[in-house]
A and B are shown apart, each in its own frame.
Chain A
Amino acid sequence: MKGAERGVTAVDLAKETHEATLLLCGGTGCLSSRAREVFTAINLVLAEKGLAGKIRVKLTGCHGFCEQGPVMAVKPKDYFYCRLEPEDVPGLIEALLSGKPYENKLYRLPGTDRAVGRKEDIPFYKKQQRLVLRNCGEIDPEDIDDYLIRGGYRALEKALGMTPEQVIAEIKASGLRGRGGAGFPTGNKWEIARNSPGSARYVICNADEGDPGAFMDRSICEGDPHAVLEGLIIAGYAIGARQGYIYIRAEYPLAVERLEKAVVKAGERGFLGRNILNSGFDFDVEIVKGAGAFVCGEETALIESIQGNRGMPRPRPPYPAVRGLWDCPTVINNVETLANVPLILNIGARRFAEIGTEQSKGTKIFALTGKVNNTGLVEVPMGTTLKEIIFAIGGGIKGGKKFKAVQIGGPSGGCLGEKHLHLPVDFDSLIAAGVMMGSGGLVVMDENTCMVELARFFLSFTRQESCGKCTPCREGTTHLLRLLEKITRGEGKKEDLERIEELSRNIIDSSLCGLGQSAPNPVLSTLRYFRDEYELHVEKKICPAGVCRNLLSYRIIAERCRACSICKKACPAGAIAGEKGKPHRIDPELCAKCGECLEKCPFEAIIRG
């Protein structure tokens, strides 16, 4: 049995002898749109037809094209199917056997009927460079052999043949910077931890991904858990740790399950535990589930949480690399950072460093969401412009609407408008623009997004997630939110804008941890780039995007009204009056501004202003 055999060459190659392989996405997104039922249906049909030996179906990690889920790629012909349903399966298998694509569910270019057969021809994939996500969608994440066949744990083998110092030097040479948001050079962090005195050393994988709309880390953990584990083991070897932790949100049950399985499998194959690959290096990994506090993604709060305390950040310095978990030198790396590590050792620091920009090497994964056609997971070289990501890969704005802004870096990041579309996305360009990379959330907004409301939304999130330890964040975020709410309610005053700016500056300047220090970023960046919108709210009591309910009014254009009374029936507030044959009217006093009438009017006679 495989369990008894150890090392990277002990692989069951029989799994590679199938004539065709179906790679059905088993990421959280696709699973929630019935991927598992599709999977069952495929297996049933294959069994019925006695094809199990010829055709293999794998439930893989996320393919990234979540918008189209459940998605499936078919090897070797590389057909790519979207929005699969169990009912599609018989036809699909039939097509497969006849060597043709299953036309029904091929990807179609938006707004056209044109089907694109092969995955690599789909614009969403064409412009990407999937290096860290190389295995996501390709392997069965619960099958270590799949990982090994694609070169898994070779990097670990290589690292164990080097000295820890050499490993650190390699990572330093690659120019890898932390993907968790701050962009600290990973190799330097490892070196500091290795050189700091301590009775033990620890390495922690930070998988406490908490930004609203971000799912990069979840997808990697779900789709390629061994890559994360391999990176963690290499990091442990490099800094001299014997114990590693993966701190992951309990809200990611699938990622947790796959990581747990990976830890067991890696242990069976001798990649974890005592005397790893006969190198004399011992290393164990424990998975710790977080209880759902956003702040536990902050590294010192994360440490407190692992130690069994309430997750509240502690002051830095001392930095965890000097004094972290149990007061010992501790490296905390984000999932994506660690997933880069095997890649670097495999292709070499020099080749890695050729990707990206001068100061930001490699690729970056973004979770592209919001009002964009192709929502999903995107990996591009550092330095790719926002425009390329949103339009070339993301397929532009939904419903043909106008692009307004993009929120980058989650609640700690900021908003960039149209004039920044040509901005290359790398650590330093973003900082220069007053925002930050963050962990990779990209929320696209169209013309119907109110920027004040957007800032309010992010503030309500950080306010709720403030741990309550330091005054500026604990009290300040609440008052900042209240001021924004005041404006969206239409009660804002001119001096409130100054108060908002001053309070924001003080929160940034004097908060204890990154959460507070960045919480006002969405407010300040929207104020900086969309100040006119705030001013309209405050001075004219207008919400130009038509979002802030208190600032809206609904009106019936008499010329267009056919007096059909549909709106009158639809109005829950009884605010619409009108007799048969006469144009109807909305009583602004009674109107609840729900927009129901506007939705229902067949003649577009109702407008919002």
Chain B
Amino acid sequence: MELLTVTINGRRLQVPAGTNILQAAEAHGIHIPTLCYEEGLTATGACRLCVVEIKGARKLAAACTTPVAEGMEIYTESERVVAARREVLRLLLANHDLRCLTCERNGDCRLQDYCYRYKVEDTPYEGVLREYPIDSDNPFFIRDYSKCIRCGKCVLICAEVNGAHVYDFMERGIDTKVTSAYDDNLQETTCTACGMCVNVCPVGALVEKSTLWEGRAWEIEKVTTTCPYCGVGCQLKLKVKDGRIIGVAADKSGSNRGHLCAKGQFGWDFVHSPDRLTRPLVRKNGRLVETSWEEALALTAARFRAILHRYGGKAIAGLSSAKATNEENYLFQKFMRAVLKTNNVDHCARLCHSSTVAGLATAFGSGAMTGSLDDLLAAEVIFLIGANTTEAHPVTGYRIKQAVRRGTKLIVADPRRIELVKYADVWLRHRPGTDIALLNGLAHVILQENLWDKEFVATHSEGFDEWRRVVEKYPPERVAQICEVEADTIVRAARLFGRARRGCIVYAMGITQHRSGTQNVMAVANLAILTGNVGREGTGVFPLRGQNNVQGACDMGALPNYYPSYLPVEDADVRRRFREFWGTELPAEPGLTVTEMMTAAAAGKIKAMYILGENPVLSDPDAAHVEKALKNLEFLVVQDIFLTETARLADVVFPAASFAEKDGTFTNTERRIQRVRKAVLPPGEAKADWEIIVALAREMGYPWKYPRGPEEIMTEIARCTPLYGGINYSRLEEGGIQWPCPTPDHPGTPRLHAEGFSRGKGKFHPVEHIPAAEEPDRNYPLILTTGRNLYQFHTGTMSRRSRLHQLRPHELMMIHPQDAAARGIKDGDTVAVASRRGEVVTRVQVTDDVPPGTVFMTFHYPEVPTNVLTNPATDPVCKIPELKVTAVQVSKAP
């Protein structure tokens, strides 16, 4: 970086070229006041509070918009500067609702801070205060423009980060006011309730409803932690008062840069839900009744011991949780393996990205995202396939939109018209279940037109010739037929991707949740190797992980065939090492996957299950079958924060602590290990999952002891998990670290495969189009595909117990107008949806966002258990079920 020499207030300083005066000064501890500048947003120079004097310049310059120049002589607090700043403050005060006594931002208000700093006690100007009606119609925050200083940050962050463009200014001069379209209340606009406007507001114009009258700024403790929803791993600050969470503030230490979505910002209140489990429950006379920890633990240990004794470890299975911390996942798989003597441990990653882990591991040598989320901003082209980012991973959606705004080209492959289609240069609306054909077709064109990276392929890959022979069978004309996309569009997309020097491929469950999931992922990997788009800035393969800690749960070995760090169970050497490390005998045979466990349970081969923080009755395919399997068990233990649909079937229920009530770490989708911090106490007698597992292990006769809690568990993890070898809590205080981090002095790894692929060479895998297991036919003529919506999460356990619930209170199946008309269905009607396995009743939304022949549902609503319909047909390699393609019929409900 080029350094320039400038003088600020007489100090000669070295500052990087290209920075503005405000940044340069701040880096040297000189704080220039500002109301409108926000790192990452366009500097508008609107408030004029940051003006500084530059020697030789006729007028004062705004520090936020003036780049530093060599030899610049800057005065940040000269008499002239202070006079101008005082004037700005006096002017703002004259037009400001000065009811500071009861303002929520009293004590945390920039206007107040700067008036104090510049001793502006009053304004000589007669007030011209405008009284505006307060908008408090939305469930989350209020807008009071009598307190607005027109800094414009809300306008900017909504447009430049979220992309919703809800706000702009109306009127001119002193009448200027922030407004929404038609000056409507926010609920009538494109607002996605991300609340970022609230977080950037420097005054009290935008205030979270939940904090209203709850406490003064100085009474509120802010605890930095990690969002418990999706895998993006946003950092945020919980606002805590008197042992309760009252709100969320932005935290800029993570790769989310302080940006949040509705779930992170407003979805936390499930923590204080009256539905929380507060005492252990045991089944007595067929009913779950409250009991003491002693009884519940003793009973559980006794039952496990008995079943273990009678049937052996193979008859016991456990589901760990992608919502629990790394420490808890580690202990859980250790408990299953070392105490219950079984490798039958798995978790929901099986249902989302097991194909990624399998596919990328064989192609690249590691099953994780190759780059960092920031690489998206450096890409020339982003190819997004099977990922509805703006709803399922909203903050990553923001990044893609930001990249596009800065000139990155975007290719979207998705059967649905997802929001990012609006931003796309090319949209490939392929038929569900035809991803391999599409990816092979793109590779075909890239080969044909010599757009591939020959040098990279020659030096960094193997298997090219064999693969090429398969891809040659996928000319665009043929692919067009399979995928129902025009050949020209395929060629256009291929050229766009092939010609870029830096390309990212982003995908999610649209790729993985197929019976060809592993091959789908390999097809993605093939394209990345072919174009040399791995290991460099602005390149990479980006599987977006669904759960907050699904990456970590995998890393911790909550998998039937891997110990922590993906060390194979079958490797005798590895097994010996863990036996010695844990000091007990370990089973040798790999265990069962989630789907296999259910089949085994239904068949009576699994007798007992221990389910931690998962709700398979709603989340797994063919839910009726799952319910039947669980009912067939001799003994079921469920550990959760709520009495879920699964917990209702249990013999023992342990009340667990939520993310806000414990310490630990989550690992996000870009392999970043980040802290989770205890902000409040668990309700009643609920305990952290790790505490419950330890107590149970001790009850079973294993003297586990972690007096220093999760921090100490992490020390143990670091000792047996090479990827986490250098992780400890004191390092994490300064921010997350991306694995591999083998030693305490290792800085972490933002980009995998930078020095060549982890497995040596990237491997091309010849993969062929495989039709979905269930193609539509006369009886079931439509394809059902499933996913998430922005405001709800998974089985709704958390999100439907928060205010988010109000935004999308019920399922709305999407159906194309043509298909609706053929069935006499109108928007808002109630319909019955049936597959070969079951039937559900739901309301519909008639929209051409889905193509004809395809319907779309989420699985957030227990009253509409979509997975009753889905097909448990699985990928033979990783056993992921084909949740994305189910043949269904739809008819108007009587």
Contacts and interface: CB of A to CB of B under 8 A. Distances in A.
A143 to B, nearest CB: 40
Interface stretch (B6-14, B59-67, B232-240, B571-579): B59-67
Interface string A467-492: 11111101111110010000000000
A506 B84 CA distance: 5
B70 to A, nearest CB: 15
A469 B94 CA distance: 17
Interface string A407-450: 00000000000000000000000000000000000000000000
A478 B173 contact: yes
A87 interface: no
A474 B173 contact: yes
Contacts of A463: 173-174
A510 B124 contact: no
Given A317-B67, A471-B88, A476-B87, A512 B174 contact: no
Interface in A309-340: 310, 312, 314-315, 317
A472 B86 CA distance: 11
Nearest to B171: A468
A472 B88 contact: yes
Interface residues of B, number: 38
Contacts of B48: 470-472, 510-512
B87 A506 contact: yes
B202 to A, nearest CB: 13
Contact of B172 (A293, A317, A471): A293
A315 B60 CA distance: 13
Contacts of A507: 87
Interface string B161-205: 000000011011111100000000000000000000000000000
Contact of A475 (B44, B94, B124): B94
Interface string A299-314: 0000000000010101
A479 B171 CA distance: 18
A476 B47 CA distance: 12
B83 interface: yes
Interface string B82-117: 011001100110110000000000000000000000
A201 to B, nearest CB: 17
A584 B175 CA distance: 48
Interface in A496-553: 499, 502-503, 506-512, 517
Nearest to A467: B172
A317 B80 CA distance: 22
Contacts, number: 111
Contacts of A21: none
A478 B128 contact: yes
B152 interface: yes
Contacts of B43: 315
B125 interface: yes
Interface in B1-52: 43-49, 51
B124 A499 contact: yes
Contacts of A312: 169
Interface in A546-589: none
Contact of B65 (A315, A469, A499, A508): A315
Given A315-B62, A478-B174, A479-B94, A310 B47 contact: no
A507 B46 CA distance: 13
B150 interface: yes
A465 interface: yes
B174 A474 contact: yes
A500 B743 CA distance: 66
A468 B173 contact: yes
A469 B49 CA distance: 13
Contacts of A517: 59
Contact of A470 (B47, B83, B168): B47
A511 B173 CA distance: 13
Contacts of A315: 43-45, 62, 65-66
B91 A468 contact: no
A464 interface: yes
Nearest to A327: B407
A363 interface: no
B83 A506 contact: yes
A468 B94 contact: no
Given A506-B84, A509-B80, A470 B45 contact: yes
Interface in B409-436: none
Contact of A510 (B66, B84, B128): B84
B126 interface: yes
Nearest to B87: A506
Contacts of A477: 173-174
Contacts of B60: 509-510
Nearest to B173: A466
Interface string A41-53: 0000000000000
B533 to A, nearest CB: 24
Interface in B624-673: none
A503 B124 CA distance: 11
A508 B51 CA distance: 12
Contacts of B168: 310
Most A C-beta atoms less than 10 A away, residue of B59, B66, B92, B173: B173
Given A317-B67, A510-B60, A468 B87 contact: no
Contacts of A476: 87, 91
Nearest to A506: B87
A471 B44 CA distance: 12
Given A468-B172, A468-B175, A510 B88 contact: yes
B19 to A, nearest CB: 14
Interface in A590-606: none
Contacts of A467: 172-173, 176
A518 B468 CA distance: 69
Given A317-B67, A506-B84, A470 B173 contact: no
Contacts of B126: 479, 482
Contacts of B46: 469-471, 512
A135 B88 CA distance: 49
A503 B87 contact: yes
Most B C-beta atoms less than 10 A away, residue of A465, A506, A511: A506
Most A C-beta atoms less than 10 A away, residue of B60, B149, B172: B172
A468 B169 contact: yes
Contacts of B66: 315, 317
Contacts of A314: 44-45
Contacts of A466: 172-174
Contacts of B124: 499
Given A310-B168, A315-B65, A479-B125, A468 B176 contact: yes
A510 B50 CA distance: 10
Nearest to A462: B173
B747 to A, nearest CB: 35
Contacts of B83: 502, 506
B82 to A, nearest CB: 11
Contacts of A310: 168-169
B92 A475 contact: yes
A517 B67 CA distance: 20
A472 B60 CA distance: 12
B53 to A, nearest CB: 9
A75 to B, nearest CB: 48
Contacts of B65: 315
Nearest to A311: B172
B173 A464 contact: yes
Nearest to B92: A471
Given A315-B44, A469-B176, A474-B173, 18 more contacts: A317-B66, A467-B172, A467-B173, A468-B173, A469-B44, A469-B46, A470-B47, A471-B47, A472-B48, A472-B84, A475-B174, A479-B94, A506-B88, A509-B59, A509-B80, A510-B48, A510-B88, A512-B48
22 contacts: A293-B172, A310-B168, A310-B169, A315-B45, A315-B65, A463-B173, A464-B172, A465-B172, A467-B173, A468-B174, A468-B176, A469-B152, A469-B169, A470-B47, A471-B91, A471-B150, A474-B150, A474-B173, A475-B92, A475-B95, A475-B125, A509-B60
List 4 tightest A-B contacts by C-beta distance, closest first. Answer: A468-B176, A315-B65, A475-B91, A466-B173
